[in-house]
């Protein structure tokens, strides 16, 4: 089940894929009233550390900490505790770290949030990286089932471990919505508005399509970062997502957060 309470703005996660903190902070200042969250990944975190996260949060921005933890359960539990203390809204781990590792992350997040009276972040599992294909799964990892079946299997394992949802490619959303019961968050990168360049993304959907087939959150980077008018680019995406789709028979709440 998806989260119907999110506004359209809440659903947009802007990837802060920029070279320096000045640019990142500038983007937060410019767009925080239009987008729900900012994604801090390995590049920015390695260069500027947790301080960049604290600065974004102190400006009123929400943060998805995209560090994809993958280590022994004890280490991932400790990293998860720190992510909660940092105040991030979403963080993630690799499902291939296994059931015990995912359980440790989910439990540490829950217990730390309760102990410190902080909101518990959404903890997501990355199933199979979209840079892998069926051939590399088979040849390198010796995983012989189809990509879709493996993704479905890892998503169910993640749910069993207490993860709140998964990061998935747009192509997997429908299958996940069909195969997984109960509340489960789906966040998807790899989206491209029809008016934007595809860059290096291959199996893409438009943001509106991704939301209509069941994504709760969409991650957008270059279509906004490279736009001449970034606010206008975000507004166009919001508008497209808000448009009712008669075929799907569904409408999403309109209007950006003020
Ligand atoms: O610029 P673009 O919209 O392609 O940015 C997408 C963001 O989502 C980047 O930060 C990229 O690393 C991330 N991502 C992705 N595909 C995945 C996982 C993460 O594009 N499978």
**CATH number of the domain bearing residue 226:** 3.20.20.70
**Number of domains present in the structure of the chain:** 1
Closest C-alpha among 163, 151, 165, 170 to residue 220: 170
CA 80 – CA 87 distance, rounded (Å): 11
pLDDT in tens, 85-144: 999 999 999 999 999 999 999 999 999 999 999 999 999 999 999 888 889 999 999 999
256 lies in some domain? no
258, part of any domain: no
The answer to the question of residue 205 being in a domain is yes
Q: How far apart are CA 219 and CA 14, in angstroms?
A: 6
Specify the residue for token string 């070279």.
19
pLDDT digits (tens, 9 = 90+) for 161-173: 999 999 999 999 9
- 52 to 19, 40, 65, 141, 156: CA distances (angstroms): 13, 8, 11, 35, 33
- For ligand 1, the distance from its centroid to the CA atom of residue 256, given in whole angstroms, is 23
Would you say residue 255 lies in a domain?
A: no
* Range of the structural domain that residue 24 is part of: 3-248
Q: Tell me which of 12, 17, 151, 233 to substitute to probe ligand 1's pocket, judged by most ligand atoms within 8 Å of the beta carbon.
A: 17
pTM: 0.93
Residues sharing a CB contact under 8 Å with residue 89, sequence separation 6 or more, in sequence order: 37, 62, 63, 64, 119, 121, 122
- Ligand 1: centre distance to CA 221 (Å): 7
Q: How far is the CA of 171 from the centre of ligand 1 (A)?
A: 14
Q: Ligand 1 within 6 A of 207 CB?
A: no
What is d(CA 185, CA 164) in angstroms, rounded to the nearest whole number? 6
23 lines ligand 1 (CB under 6 A): no
Q: Is residue 58 part of a domain?
A: yes
> Given this model, what pLDDT does residue 256 score?
34
The mean-pLDDT minimum among 57-61, 211-215, 240-244 falls in 240-244
Residue 231, domain member (yes or no) = yes
Whether residue 248 is predicted with pLDDT greater than 70 in this model: the reply is: no
Q: Is residue 257 part of a domain?
A: no
Going by C-alpha positions, the residue among 111, 144, 152 that lies closest to residue 128 is 152
Query: Does 39 participate in catalysis according to the annotation?
Result: no
């Amino acid at each position: 089940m998806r989260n119907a309470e999110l506004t359209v703005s809440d659903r947009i996660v802007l990837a802060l894929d920029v070279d320096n903190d000045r640019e990142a902070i500038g983007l937060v200042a410019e767009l925080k009233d239009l987008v729900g969250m900012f994604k801090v990944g390995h590049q920015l975190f390695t260069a500027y550390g947790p301080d960049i996260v604290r600065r974004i949060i102190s400006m009123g921005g929400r943060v998805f900490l995209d560090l994809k933890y993958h280590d022994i359960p004890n280490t991932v539990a400790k990293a998860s505790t720190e992510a909660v203390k940092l105040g991030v809204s979403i963080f993630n781990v690799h499902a291939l770290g296994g059931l015990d590792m995912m359980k440790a992350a989910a439990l540490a997040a829950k217990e730390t949030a309760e102990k410190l009276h902080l909101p518990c972040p959404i903890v997501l599992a990355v199933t199979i990286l979209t840079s892998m294909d069926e051939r590399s799964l088979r040849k390198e990892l010796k995983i012989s089932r189809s990509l879709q079946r493996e993704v479905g299997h890892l998503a169910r394992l993640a749910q069993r471990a207490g993860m709140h949802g998964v990061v998935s490619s747009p192509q997997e959303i429908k299958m996940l919505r069909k195969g997984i019961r109960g509340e489960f968050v789906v966040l998807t990168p790899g989206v491209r508005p029809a008016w934007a360049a595809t860059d290096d993304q291959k199996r893409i959907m438009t943001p509106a399509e991704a939301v209509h087939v069941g994504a709760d959150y969409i991650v957008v980077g270059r279509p906004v970062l490279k736009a001449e008018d970034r606010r206008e680019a975000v507004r166009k995406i919001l508008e497209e997502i808000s448009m009712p789709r008669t075929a799907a028979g569904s409408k999403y709440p309109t209007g950006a957060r003020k």
